[in-house]
Structures are given as structure tokens and as C-alpha cells.
Amino acid sequence: MLNTVAAAAFAMSTIIIPPGGAPGTTPPPDHFTIDVVTVNGTGCRAGTAAVAVSPDNKAFTVTYSEFMAQVGVGAKPTDFRKNCQLNLRINAPSGFTYGIASTDYRGFAHLEKGATALERANYYFQGMSQTEYTQHNWKGSMSDDWQATDTVEVASIVYHPCGEKRNFNINAELRVNAGTSDPKKTTSFISMDSTDGSVETTYHFAWKTCPPPPQP
């Protein structure tokens, strides 16, 4: 099992705990840790994912180094779609639980005229129903950074069950289609990284306190 220090590298994603969390709550004062249990997918082979928790409890960062889908010159037939599934054990401080309030995805895309690309993702707690996939689309021609944001209404936030141990799963996918562009002469791609590898995906956390356990 990888841990947050030894986990090796993943395009950059950050989970942010807003200063106020959900309405009426604040982030826990005690530092929490995250263990990377498994990393699977064609977009994140072994040794290309790292997770680290910020000292102020306001973020954890997942860094991707090879998460890119491409078609055309130099691409393999299977390169048009890349996916990555991250299974995390988030060790929240006693008395607190968390949920996902919103997610910011960022990356870079080069799409020839007629080509298209998409990013889709979902997340869920182990043993619970998956959230629906959210999807964002781009059309060529373009050669620029991209950003997409998914937001969950406060009343719809799914929290980790208090007092239970359930891992947190993040599924992400990138896909590119040549469309009417000429894949024999051009290359189109989309990645969850920038040209300098510093772009990030951000998962905004909402925190709330758990009720005290029943007395024996």
C-alpha cells in the first residue's frame, strides 16, 4: 500500500476544504492523513500518482504525470481513451465527517479543427451508490488550457457515514476523437496537466461534526 509520502506521481488534483466548510461548520482542527490504497487505469500506471495533505488541513493534492488521451500521428489505437481510478483511505479526525461540495478540473488540450474531446468523472464512498458522471466537452480547433467545475447543492452533498470505515473512490476519464480532422497528418490530445505539469484538479470538501456515539 502506498502512503501519502511514498506514493509516486499522478496531472495535479487538489482537494480543498473551504474555510467554512458547509454552512455552520469549520474544518477540523486536528491534522488528518490520507493513504493511497490502490491506483488503477490506463492514465495512471504504477509509479505515476502521488497524494499529499496540506499542513493547514485545507487541501490534499494528487499529482498526475501521464494522464493524457490522444489520436493521430504518433498515437496508438488505444490512446484515444485514458482513465484513472484512485482508491483513498481518508483518516478524518474523530468527531468529523466530510463530503464533496464541488470539483474543479484543469488541464491542457490541443484539438485540430473537427476533433473533439471530453473529460468525465464521478466519485463515491465504498459500498455506497456512485454519484452520476459529470461530463465536459471541447471542440477543435483549440490549443489552450481548459477548466471545468462541477458543483453539488448543499442539500445533496453525500457525507461519509459517521463511525464507519469506507474508502473514497475517484474515477476520471479523458477521451479524444479525431472527428473530421485527418489523423494521418495531425495529432489531437487532451491532458490533465499543463505544458509545465503544474495544472490541478480541485475537490472542495464540506465538513460537519458527527453526533456523539450512544452511551452503553
Q: Pick from 91, 70, 34: which is nearest to 193 by CA?
A: 70
Ramachandran angles phi, psi of 113, nearest 5°: -55, 125
Percent of the chain with pLDDT over 70: 70
Most confident of 21-30, 102-111, 148-157: 102-111
Query: Which tens digit of pLDDT belongs to each residue from 28-37?
Result: 666 677 777 8
Given a cut of 60, whether residue 53 has pLDDT beyond it is yes
Give residue limits of the domains in the chain: 2-209
Query: Which tens digit of pLDDT belongs to each residue from 119-173?
Result: 998 888 888 887 778 899 999 999 999 988 887 766 667 788 888 888 888 888 9
